[in-house]
Amino acid sequence: MKLNTVIENEKLTISFEVFPPKTDADFESVRQAAYDVAALHPDYMSVTYGAGGSTSGHTLAIAQGIQKEYEVPTIAHLTCVGATKQSIHNALCEMKQAGVENILALRGDRPAWMEQEPFTDYHYASELVETIREFGGFCVGGACYPEGHPDAGNKREDIQNLKKKVDAGCEFLTTQMFFDNNIFYNFLYHAREAGIQVPIIPGIMPITRKTQVKNAVKLSGCHMPERFINIVDHFGSDKAAMQQAGIIYATDQIIDLLANGITHIHVYSMNNADVARGILNNLAEIRKAY
Ligand SMILES: Cc1cc2nc3c(=O)[nH]c(=O)nc-3n(C[C@H](O)[C@H](O)[C@H](O)COP(=O)(O)OP(=O)(O)OC[C@H]3O[C@@H](n4cnc5c(N)ncnc54)[C@H](O)[C@@H]3O)c2cc1C
């Protein structure tokens, strides 16, 4: 099912993100972990993609499996860093053949194995969005950054660039993780002010291990509020306590978003079904209210 239909028809959506294995050897165990998340029947699931195409087959296989085995709509990510028009055309043909209906169109970041300045027909995700729209038949989403993308000169410029991506045919946006909802509300205000009218879906990352904090900051440059740092300082060395605290912090963010009228939420639960289940259990009565 196309995600624009899901988003339009459902009053509340909770979606989960999973990632594919990096190697063939890990395929079965990683697929099973993704299936354990799918068995919780979220409203849809997204499957990430190794920039440069390193996991393309696995991304497709997992997206296809989730749809077929669990009837959960999926969105497959696709990056264009180092890609040519021909390689993207081939990828889109494969995606169509695999029954993929939704694509999160991304630029991606040059992986270490790729040459420094690879020949490419693509410089920005907006160009990939254009190609996918020309190809036809897919619902296309894109990424956005409430705290600004690290390459952008400033947040204003970043939002102007985001508008180009939406004008190219991007039908909804999913945000980078953030840990202070005020950052999201502020971004939403500025995006709407810039004329971006498509649904903007907040991405919530439940941090359930102390080591994830460093990675999250390194990956996204996101601001960690003192309230959350205190939680990690206090519970970080107790695995079970940190998991519970991280799930509750993420749930609290989600409840605040819902209370502010944001009804489509994406959760970076990655391949952790316990975390995904924890979030859904915490929201069980609230979900019934919609
Ligand atoms: C929800 C989400 C999912 C993700 N999934 C994956 C994944 O599966 N695999 C993966 O490898 N990575 C993934 N990423 C990471 C993403 O690939 C990186 O953040 C990458 O650096 C930017 O990708 P983008 O699609 O946002 O790029 P773009 O939208 O192209 O933006 C990149 C930068 O270029 C600037 N820019 C855009 N257009 C123009 C223009 N016309 N002129 C000048 N500047 C411009 C923007 O302001 C920004 O600074 C994801 C990120 C998010 C938020």
The pLDDT of residue 200 is above 90 = yes
Task: Write down the pLDDT at residue 6.
Answer: 95
* Burial class (CB within 10 angstroms; exposed 0-12, middle 13-18, buried 19+) of 227: exposed
What is residue 249's predicted lDDT score, i.e. its pLDDT?
98
pLDDT of 112 over the 90 cut: no
Quote the tokens at residue 98: 């695999």
Give the residue, out of 55, 107, 114, with the most ligand 1 atoms within 8 A of its beta carbon, to mutate for a pocket test: 107
Residue 101 has phi, psi (to 5 degrees) of -115, -15
Q: Return the percentage of the chain with pLDDT > 70, whole number.
A: 100
Which residue lies with its CA nearest to atom 44 of ligand 1?
161
pLDDT for the residue 215: 87
Q: Are strands 139-144 and 172-177 parallel, antiparallel or unpaired?
A: parallel
pLDDT band at 53 (very low <50, low <70, confident <90, very high): confident
Letter string b/e over residues 173-183, b meaning 16 or more CB atoms within 10 A of that residue's CB: bbbbbbbbbeb
Angle between helical axes of 85-97 and 125-135 (0-180°, round to 10) = 50
> Which positions are catalytic?
17
pLDDT, one tens digit per residue, over 178-196 is: 999 999 999 999 999 999 9
Question: Which residue puts its alpha carbon closest to atom 20 of ligand 1?
Answer: 108
- Distance from Cα 125 to the centre of ligand 1, integer Å: 6
- Has residue 52 got a pLDDT over 90? no
Q: Which pLDDT tens digit goes with each residue over 54-94?
A: 888 999 999 999 999 999 999 999 999 999 999 999 999 99
Q: pLDDT band for 28, please (50, 70, 90 cuts).
A: very high
Cβ–ligand 1 contact at 165 (below 6 Å): yes
Q: Which amino acid is at 136?
A: G
Q: How far is the CA of 143 from the centre of ligand 1 (A)?
A: 6
CB 10 within 8 A of CB 43: yes
pLDDT digit string, tens, across residues 146-174: 999 999 999 999 999 999 999 999 999 99
Q: Ligand 1 atom 9: the closest Cα is on which residue?
A: 49
Residues shown for the chain = 290
Nearest protein CA to atom 14 of ligand 1, as residue: 108
pLDDT, mean of residues 232-246: 97
Ligand 1 centroid to residue 34 C-alpha, Å: 24
CA 47, distance to chain mean position in Å, is 8
Q: Are 162 and 155 in contact (CB under 8 A)?
A: no
Q: DSSP H helical segments within the chain, as ranges?
A: 3-9, 27-38, 56-70, 85-97, 125-135, 155-167, 181-193, 210-220, 226-235, 239-259, 273-282, 284-288
| Residue 237: predicted pLDDT | 96
CB atoms within 10 A of CB 270: 19
CATH code for position 141: 3.20.20.220
Q: Is the CB of 163 under 6 A from ligand 1?
A: no
Residue 130 Cα, ligand 1 centroid: separation in angstroms? 15
The number of distinct structural domains making up the chain is 1
Token duo for residue 183: 């950052």
pLDDT at 68: 96
State which of 18, 55, 106 you would mutate to test the pocket of ligand 1, scoring each by most atoms of that ligand within 8 A of its C-beta. Answer: 106
Query: In angstroms, what CA-CA distances link 274 with 1, 38, 131, 217, 262?
Result: 26, 12, 38, 23, 24
**Cβ of 203 less than 6 Å from ligand 1:** yes
Q: Is 59 in the pocket of ligand 1 (CB under 6 A)?
A: no
Q: Name the 3-class secondary structure at 204.
A: strand
What's the domain range around 94? 3-288
- Above 90 in pLDDT, residue 117? no
In ligand 1, the atom with minimum distance to the C-alpha of 78 is: 8
Question: How far is the centre of ligand 1, averaged over its atoms, from the C-alpha of 151 (Å)?
Answer: 9
230 CA to centre of ligand 1 in angstroms: 31
User: Taking 90 as the threshold, does the pLDDT of residue 250 lie above it?
Assistant: yes
The pairing of strands 44-47 and 264-267 is unpaired
pLDDT category at 135 given cuts 50, 70, 90 is: very high
